[in-house]
Every structure is written in C-alpha cells, then in structure tokens.
Homo-oligomer: A and B are copies of this chain.
C-alpha cells in the first residue's frame, strides 16, 4: 500500500486520469502474457513525459518503492508482473514517432509505439525495421528494447539489440541520460545503449529510443518444404548456411505443431509429414530468385518430399500467418501449455530436436517443437494439465533435462523471451555464479536501492517454468486470474 502522501504526490505528477489504484485497475496490471505469474501492484501510473517519469522515480527511489516499467505486457517470462508490489509504470502514452530520418536512416520514437506501427511507418518510406517478434501487433518498442525481442528475421537481420543506436533513459535517481545517438560509430565510453537492451526493466526506464533502419528489401519470396524426417529438415538448414546463403527467415514446425496449426488455420498442410520448413528470402530480385532456387535444390537433396514456392503475396502471407499462429493453436489442445525457449548454435538444431523427442518419450510427456530454425532458437512446447500434479512433475523434469541438453550443446536458456521471473532459476546454468554476481553488481551501479523491477532476472525461488494455463471460465487466457495473493506461481 502506498502512503497517502506518496499517492497524492503521484497524482500531482500524472493527474487523475493517469493514476490508477482501484481494485479492478490494479487487477488488470497484476499479470502479463505469462499466465500463472500474478501479483497485485499498489498503483499504476501512466507518465506523459520524460520529466514525469523522472519525478515518479525520485519519489519511488527515496521511499524504496518498486517500479515495474511496462508496455503491453506481451512478454513470456513474467517480466512485467509486479512480484513485489509497488508502482507499475505504463509508458504507453509515450507513443509518438518523433522522426524518421531518411538521410541517416534512423527513427526516433517513444517506448509506447507499437512494433507493427513502427514497421508500417518506416515501410511507407521504403525503409525497414527488421525485428518482428510474434507479438508485434500488440507489443511496444519499449518492451522490445527491455526484452531484446527477436522474431523470424533474426537469422539474416539480427535482433532488437542490433538496431538500437541510442536511448534516453531515466535512472532511479531521476537523472536523465542520453546514451548513444545517430552515429554509425561511437566509442565514447562504455556502451550503455546495448547494456540497456535486454535488461528487462531492472536498470532504468527507457523514455525515448533511436533505432537504425535499413532500406526495405525490393522483393521477397516465400517457400515451404515438407519432410518425412525431422533430421532431414534440420540438415537442410545446416546445408543452406554452409552453402553461404543466409535467408531472411527459416522457420521449423514439427508434425505435432503442423497438425494443430492445420486444425486451427486450415491452409492444407500435409499432416502426414514429420516436419516442415518455412523459408523466406528477400533482397534484389535476381539474388532472391537464385537463392530460392538453390535452397529448393538443397531441400530436395536432403530428402524433402515436396517444396512449394508461394506464387502470390497472399499465399506467402497465409503461410507466415500459419507459423505465427503456432502458439495460439497449440494452447487450444490441452488445458495447460508449457512453452520453453531453449536455443542452441544453429548447427546443433537436429541434435537438439532429437534430444527433445528422446526426453519427451523418457518422461512420457507430449512436447511439440517449432521455432526459428535458422537461429537454433527452438520453442519446445508441452501440452499438459496443471491439475495432474504427477504429470506436471514429469514435465518439469523433462524441461530441466532439455535445458541441460541445450547448455551442453553450447546453447542458452533463453533465446529471445528474456529471463524475468520464469527463467531466473536457470540463469546460473548459463552464466555461472560469478556471472550472476557480476550482473548483480552492475544492477547496483544503476539501481543501488533495488527499486527497478525487483525479483526479475535474479532468482529468489527455484520456480523455473512458464506455464500457460487454459482458462476454464471462458475468458481469454491472458485475462484469467489465478490467484489473488502476491507472487502466486
């Protein structure tokens, strides 16, 4: 509970309209897209300017009140759940695209801008902002920066970090920093810009963003290849890269995922196949054509049963939409969908996928796998029922083993979703105790009082799983309330 004094100070800063603390309002900010993590904040504020952010932070810092910066809350790691209460700071009002600089190929905008709106705005000018996380129609750029969002174009174009050139940020003290900028080269001191990207709201609040843009590729082609064997599909990915072709997108769906996607989207996927690859190449027409032909050749050489080139934009869009629907489709199958994010160096894709299957069999659990094959970024997804405690226990053991397998292959515990609270228990596997200690000291350099999104990244419990629960009362799953107590898991 905030004191009367703090409440009135916050009200004075943002005004009546942008301060919320009724039970219903707090409820709406007690969860994000990571169901089963829920905790009530004490207040929600929606600052309208950098100065308001600074004023709020000063108050919170002086009184050691947690601040949870938040956009649309589409993250999958519990990253915006206010697990220690405090103030949720929704930055969605800062949603202006201030500038698209066609000479320097940069865009400057507030953290509240929706990712897809940025795409549309720059594409109208023939420019391109590549990162395209699954949630891009809802997610904000502030959230993308906080989580270092990835997407389907990571293979060729990289992730959010590769495009963020400058940030305005507000430290817990209320100090406003401008880091980076529009310079293609800049080595003036430590790179605070890249450090902020992926810091999950635990260091400072981002109040403005400058991103790098590219020329929009002239053309693109989309193709699918179907396989009787998972390994053939994975080997195709490897062979394409080894042939020195870097496609814009190389997505992978296994049979189980194909089946549920087909059931959901009805686009005629051949569900007797064991796997499919969805491949997109973009660029200059002659190059795209040549690459696509060579990829087709390699796919057949590696055992593809059928390779299909999308003949129209509409057909291409349908294929991409089907892939984008994979998680939604999977979450319809059983009451509880557990989604993970293990990532390996791309050459280990086949091995990792096989190990997921072996582990699933060993523990007798149902795991579908889809994801960004070109990045080695898998989304092994378990369909289960949280009410079956014995099965859930087996699921947990299975995922534990999947994580260890990824790490053994030189992989990581999270490729693009972030650590948040859902993966905090696994971080040590990747970075070791010394790595965690160092990261904690870096956090303290920004946030000595520990007010910035406390309880995230660094484990307080051994809770290690993202559990997507299917709501039984007819609500949309992200609206479902599981528990009223703080920090329910």
Q: Which residue of B lies closest to A286 (CB)?
A: B286
* Residue in B127, B191, B216 whose CB lies within 8 Å of A194: B191
The reply to whether A184 and B432 form a contact with Cβ atoms under 8 Å apart is no
User: Given A185-B372, A187-B416, A417-B187, is A441 in contact with B434 using a C-beta cutoff of 8 Å?
Assistant: no
- Pairwise interchain contact A103-B238, C-beta atoms closer than 8 A: yes
Q: Is A182 on the interface with B (CB-CB < 8 A)? A: yes
- Residues 78-116 of A, flagged 1 when their CB comes within 8 A of B and 0 if not, give 000000000000000000000001111110000000000
Given known A-B contacts A286-B287, A438-B445, A148 and B104 have beta carbons under 8 A apart:
no
A411 to chain B, nearest CB (A): 6
| CB neighbours of A175 from chain B (8 A) | 434
**CB of A281 within 8 Å of the partner chain:** no
Kindly list chain B residues whose C-beta atoms are within 8 Å of the C-beta of A154. 184-185
> Would you give the shortest CB distance from A245 to chain B, in whole angstroms?
8
Indicate if A34 sits at the interface (CB-CB under 8 A). no
A418 within 8 A of B: yes
B244 engages A427 (CB within 8 Å): no
Q: Which of B155, B171, B216, B442 contacts A190 (CB 8 A)?
A: B442
**Do the beta carbons of B183 and A438 come within 8 Å of each other?**
no
Out of B150, B185, B244, name the residue touching A415 (CB < 8 Å).
B185
Binary contact track A165-193/B, C-beta < 8 Å → 1, others 0 = 00000010001111101111111111110
Restricting to A176-234, which residues have a CB under 8 Å from any CB of B?
Answer: 176-179, 181-192, 194-195, 197-199, 214-216
Residues of B within 8 A of A275 (CB): none
CB <8 Å contact, A412 and B195: no
**Contact (Cβ within 8 A) B374 A189:** no
Asked whether, in the complex, the Cβ of A104 is within 8 Å of the Cβ of B189, the reply is: no
Report if A377-B181 is in contact (Cβ < 8 Å); known contacts: A241-B103, A241-B105, A446-B438: no
- Among B102, B127, B185, B436, the residue within 8 A (CB) of A375 is B185
Q: How many residues of chain A have a CB within 8 Å of chain B?
A: 90
Q: Does A15 contact B (CB under 8 A)?
A: no
B-chain residues with CB within 8 Å of residue A189 when the two chains form the complex:
419, 427, 430-431, 435-436, 439, 457
Which interface residue of A126, A150, A194, A418 has the most chain B CB atoms within 10 A? A194
Q: A186 and B343: CB pair below 8 A?
A: yes
Residue in B105, B374, B431, B457 whose CB lies within 8 Å of A179: B431
Q: Which of A65-73, A344-352, A393-401, A460-468 contacts B (4 or more CB under 8 A)?
A: A344-352
**Alpha-carbon gap, A194 to B102, bound state (A):** 27
A345 engages B181 (CB within 8 Å) = yes
- Contact, CB under 8 Å: B377 / A184: yes
Q: Is the CB of B187 within 8 A of A418?
A: yes
Do A183 and B432 touch (CB < 8 A)? no
A431 and B188 contacting across the interface, CB-CB below 8 Å: yes
**Residue with the greatest number of chain B CB neighbours at <10 A, chosen from A103, A372, A423, A438:** A438
Smallest CB gap from A246: residue in B: B215
| Residue pair A347, B191 in contact (C-beta under 8 Å) | no
The answer on a CB contact under 8 Å between A183 and B412 is yes
Contacts of A434 in B (CB 8 A): 171, 175-177
Given contacts A103-B238, A187-B414, 12 further A-B contacts (CB under 8 A): A104-B241, A148-B187, A150-B185, A159-B185, A177-B434, A183-B344, A184-B375, A187-B417, A188-B413, A190-B439, A191-B194, A191-B195
